[in-house]
């Protein structure tokens, strides 16, 4: 974590949604770094705010959602407050995006080649001919057979796995330094999912791009990421090296989450289960948001909100580690 200067810094990010019944705080004080070339996984259950974090970074928050506090820095430069036209240049050129459903992220009316060429000429200023050559090169790099022929086909002529390869090619088109991949394999079958994960790992390594991989699939995270951030109710519950988070989790939520995943290599009669469900944004509990479901909650958890603090192997937002960590007195939620 003390690697070279971070590529991306997210500092105390708050995202809120004004509604008629008051303002909902969807992301509350989210902070993390991504080093150049690093793969950071972001896991959590639906509604934890993981996709929203990705959307905030690439500047594609759906209105009325808005960044209400904190900052996002890319190579030391603030990007959260850029005007829309400047942000458009950052997006694509410096940050690539991959979304869950490859069918909706491609334009069905244009050939795959035209979409790639458009991205390449916009961001890299190549001539049409050079751009086309680069497009074919990208399709070949993402494992699409016969790229010279496929480049002139439309998205509907590709299968699901092939379309996701095209989307990856598009995200990589302008040589970005960071790729935000939001559930890139969730819509795919397992055999295709393995291919896409392997591809994403390989091309990002080859290009030296860092990846923020948002997914609910812990298995994908384990295989792909260097570090992982576990999110719960709009906050980072735990962050650390992927092996440590899986095997020596410091937050009771992470332990529960790991235990609830059916394992392939052991037999258990029952899965560990976390009773209850994630709170709604309208009624986030006071103190630690996890305390109503936490088997180890004590008085302090009800009243005071824990910040990320040093746990044995990771950083966890849990008062259990207050004793062995220099506690930063956190603001009240």
Partner 1 sequence: MTVVNGTPRAAGPAVATGDAAQVRPGAALVEVRDLAKTFDVSAPWLNRVIERKSRQFVHAVDGVSFSIEKGKTLALVGESGCGKSTVARLLVGLYAPTHGEVRFDDADIATTLKGPAALALRRRMQMIFQDPYASLNPRWKVQDIVAEPLREHGLVRDAQALKQRVGELLNSVGLAPADAEKFPHQFSGGQRQRISIARALATEPEFLVCDEPTSALDVSVQAQVLNIMKDLQRKQGLTYLFISHNLAVVRHVADQVGVMYLGRLVEQADKRALFATPRHPYTRMLLDAIPDIHMTGRSRTPVQGEVPNPLNPPSGCSFHPRCPHANTRCSTERPQLLPFQGVRVACHAVEEGRI
- For binding to partner 1 (CB under 8 A), which residues are involved? 45-46, 159-162, 189-195, 197-198, 216-224, 242-243, 246, 256-265, 268-275, 277, 295
Tokens at 203, concatenated: 């091309």
Question: CA geometry: angle at 10 spanning 7 and 14, to 5°?
Answer: 160
Using the minimum distance from each CB to partner 1, give the nearer residue, 190 or 326: 190
Closer by beta carbon to partner 1, 259 or else 330: 259
Q: Identify which of residues 108 and 145 has a Cβ nearer to partner 1 in the complex.
A: 145
Residue 160 Cβ vs partner 1, minimum distance, rounded to whole Å = 8
Shortest distance, position 80 Cβ to partner 1, whole Å: 29
Rounded Cα gap, residues 53 and 57, in angstroms: 6
Q: Closer CB to partner 1, residue 127 or residue 191?
A: 191
Q: Residue 59 Cβ, how far from partner 1 at the closest point, in Å?
A: 27
In this structure, the dihedral spanned by the alpha carbons of residues 274, 280, 286 and 287, taken in order and rounded to 10 degrees, is: 50
In 3-state terms the chain splits into helix, strand, coil percentages (rounded to 5) of: 35, 20, 45
In whole angstroms, the minimum distance from the beta carbon of 201 to partner 1 comes to 9
Q: How far is the CB of 261 from partner 1 (least distance, A)?
A: 6
Residue closer to partner 1 (CB basis): 78 or 205 = 205
Least gap, CB of 54 to partner 1 (angstroms)? 18
DSSP readout, 137-172?
HHHHHTT-SSHHHHTTS-GGGS-HHHHHHHHHHHHH
Q: How far is the CB of 169 from partner 1 (least distance, A)?
A: 17
CA 212 – CA 220 distance, rounded (Å): 13
Residue number, 219 or 330, with CB nearest to partner 1:
219
Residue whose CB is less far from partner 1, 6 or 256: 256
CA distance 171 to 123: 12
Segments in the chain forming alpha helices (H): 50-57, 84-93, 112-124, 128-141, 147-150, 160-172, 190-207, 218-224, 242-247, 252-259, 299-303
Query: CA Rg, the chain, in Å?
Result: 21
Please, is 263 exposed, middle or buried when counting C-beta atoms within 10 Å of its C-beta (0-12, 13-18, 19+)? exposed
């Amino acid at each position: 974590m003390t690697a070279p200067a971070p590529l991306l810094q997210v500092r105390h990010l708050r995202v809120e949604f004004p509604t008629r019944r008051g303002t909902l705080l969807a992301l509350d004080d989210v902070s993390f770094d991504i080093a150049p070339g690093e793969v950071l996984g972001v896991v959590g259950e639906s509604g934890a705010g993981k996709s929203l974090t990705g959307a905030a970074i690439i500047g594609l928050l759906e209105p009325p959602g808005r960044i209400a506090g904190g900052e996002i820095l890319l190579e030391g430069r603030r990007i959260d407050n850029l005007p829309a036209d400047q942000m458009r240049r950052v997006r694509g050129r410096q940050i690539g995006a991959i979304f869950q459903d490859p069918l909706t992220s491609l334009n069905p009316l244009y050939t795959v080649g035209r979409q790639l060429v458009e991205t390449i000429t916009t961001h890299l200023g190549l001539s049409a001919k050079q751009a086309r050559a680069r497009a074919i090169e990208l399709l070949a790099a993402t494992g699409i057979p016969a790229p010279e022929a496929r480049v002139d086909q439309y998205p509907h002529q590709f299968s699901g796995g092939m379309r996701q390869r095209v989307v990856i090619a598009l995200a990589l088109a302008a040589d970005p330094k960071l790729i935000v991949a939001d559930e890139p394999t969730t819509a795919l079958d397992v055999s295709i999912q393995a291919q896409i994960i392997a591809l994403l790992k390989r091309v990002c390594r080859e290009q030296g791009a860092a990846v923020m991989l948002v997914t609910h699939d812990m298995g994908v995270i384990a295989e792909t990421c260097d570090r992982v951030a576990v999110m719960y109710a709009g906050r980072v519950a735990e962050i650390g090296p992927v092996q440590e988070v899986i095997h020596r989790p410091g937050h009771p939520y992470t332990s529960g989450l790991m235990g609830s995943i059916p394992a392939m290599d052991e037999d258990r009669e029952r899965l560990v289960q976390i009773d209850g469900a994630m709170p709604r944004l309208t009624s986030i509990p006071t103190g630690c948001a996890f305390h109503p479901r936490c088997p180890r909650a004590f008085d302090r958890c009800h009243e005071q909100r824990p910040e990320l603090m040093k746990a044995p192997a990771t950083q966890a937002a849990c008062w259990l580690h207050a004793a062995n960590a220099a506690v930063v007195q956190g603001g009240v939620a």
